[in-house]
Each structure stands twice: as structure tokens, then as C-alpha cells.
Chain A
Amino acid sequence: QVQLQQWGAGLLKPSETLSLTCAVYGEPFGGYYWTWIRQPPGKGLEWIGEINHTGSTKSNPSLGGRVTISVDMSVNQFSLKLSSLTAADTAVYFCASPAKPGRRRNGLLSWDQGTLVTVSS
């Protein structure tokens, strides 16, 4: 099973850009849909977007085009950038992956523990 470990800045100011990176261990990097999810305090889960090993991405239009997801296969990592931050972007951010390569329909099986990102002046 895939193991994921995430890092990035936890306190940012409004208008700044969030940058998180997730490292993948335990399985070949190729073929998976590497995914970002977030959960604002006291609220539900929100799908941010995904990327595969070829760099093909999908993201949630509700985030207004502020999302950039990239991948670096040489080090088995994928990254999230979210620009023009506001307080509404304060959330726990998770990186996740499906159970099997190419099978997002099987649900997100592997998750990291999440990183709280706070946006405050």
C-alpha cells in the first residue's frame, strides 16, 4: 500500500500562495491519480484536484483557477499550489491516492495525516 508524507508552510497571510508537497513511498509512482483534499475547520471534505504521472491534471472549478498541481517523478513527489489565499482557505489539507493505479473509482485508500494551513494576517 502507498504511504504518503506531506510538508509545507502552516501559517500564511492573505494573498500569499500555499505550497504543499507530498512524497510517495511503497509503490511505483506511475499510474496513480495523486489527489489533494481539504477540510476547513468544522466543515466537510472538499476535493481540490488530482494529477497523474504524465502530468495530466483535474481541479475543482470552485477554487476559481487558483490551483496548480504538479508532479516530479524523479523523486516520487507531487505538489499543490493555491494562490491568492483568503481566510476561507484555512483548512487541513490531505494528500491521498486510490487503492490501485488508474482506479480512482475504487476510492481514496491511502492518506497522509493532513496539514493544518492557517491563513491569517
Chain B
Amino acid sequence: IVLTQSPGTLSLSPGEGATLSCRASQSLTSNYLVWYQKKPGQAPRLLIYDAFTRATGTPDRFSGRGSGTDFTLTISRLEPDDFAVYYCQQFDYPPYTFGQGTNLEIK
């Protein structure tokens, strides 16, 4: 399954809201879609699993939604620490592929 994330880069200011998209090449029948935050030199941080469930410690400013082939990660009221690269990953079918990432940068 190919996951396509858009946009490739998103330039926003702190306080604004962000919407990141992840589209699957075929339907994820179980909606096992995960979102991570990745910063340079660090391991990825798990944010969301099962498309919409926040992992422990994920602020409620982060929300996931979607099903089938279209998924979104929404971040409200961006804080400086939120600027990073975001990846989606699917666990419906092996190989458990990642999207190519969305770079959320400060405008």
C-alpha cells in the first residue's frame, strides 16, 4: 500500500491551525493508520493510532480522523514545538508502509 501525504511542505505561523493529509492507494479496511512526529536527530514520536486515538501524552490539540483511503491529522493552535516532519504509517497490510512525510515549517 502506498501512502501519499500532502502537502509536502506546510508553512504556518504559531497559533494557526494545520491540516495534514494521508491518502492510501487502497482502502485500509481496519483503519490501522498511525501518525508520528519526527524531529532531526530524534526518534519518531507516536501521536495517533487507529486513525483517531491519541497516544498517551499527545496533547488534545492533535486530532486524527478519516477512514478507508483518506486520513487527516489536524493540529490546532500551533506551538513552536509542533514544527517538525509528520509521517503516517499503515498497519493494515504488510509491508507496513510510511508516507513520505509532511514538513511543517514556521512561516
Residues of A in contact with B (beta carbons under 8 Å apart): 37, 44-47, 49-50, 58-62, 94, 96, 99, 104-109, 111-114
Question: Least Cβ distance of A23 to chain B in Å?
Answer: 16
CA A60 to CA B49, docked complex, whole Å: 21
CA A46 to CA B95, docked complex, whole Å: 10
Which residues 68-100 of B have a CB within 8 angstroms of A?
A: 87, 89, 91, 94-100
Cβ–Cβ contact A61 & B95, under 8 A: yes
Tell me which residues across on chain B come within 8 A of A47, comparing CB atoms.
89, 95-98
Known contacts A45-B87, A47-B96; is-contact A108 B32 (Cβ 8 Å): no
Cβ–Cβ contact B98 & A99, under 8 A: no
- Cross-chain pair count, CB within 8 angstroms: 66
Tell me which residues across on chain B come within 8 A of A46, comparing CB atoms.
98
Cβ–Cβ contact B98 & A105, under 8 A: no
The total of chain B residues at the interface (CB under 8 A) is 25
Cβ–Cβ contact A44 & B101, under 8 A: yes
CA A50 to CA B94, docked complex, whole Å: 10
Tell me which residues across on chain B come within 8 A of A114, comparing CB atoms.
43
Cβ–Cβ contact B55 & A104, under 8 A: no
Tell me which residues across on chain B come within 8 A of A108, comparing CB atoms.
34, 36, 44, 46, 89
Cβ–Cβ contact A111 & B100, under 8 A: no
Cβ–Cβ contact A111 & B101, under 8 A: no
Known contacts A107-B36, A107-B55, A112-B43; is-contact A58 B50 (Cβ 8 Å): no
Tell me which residues across on chain A come within 8 A of B89, comparing CB atoms.
45, 47, 107-108
Question: Least Cβ distance of A57 to chain B in Å?
Answer: 10
Question: Least Cβ distance of B53 to chain A in Å?
Answer: 8
Known contacts A47-B89, A62-B95; is-contact A105 B55 (Cβ 8 Å): no
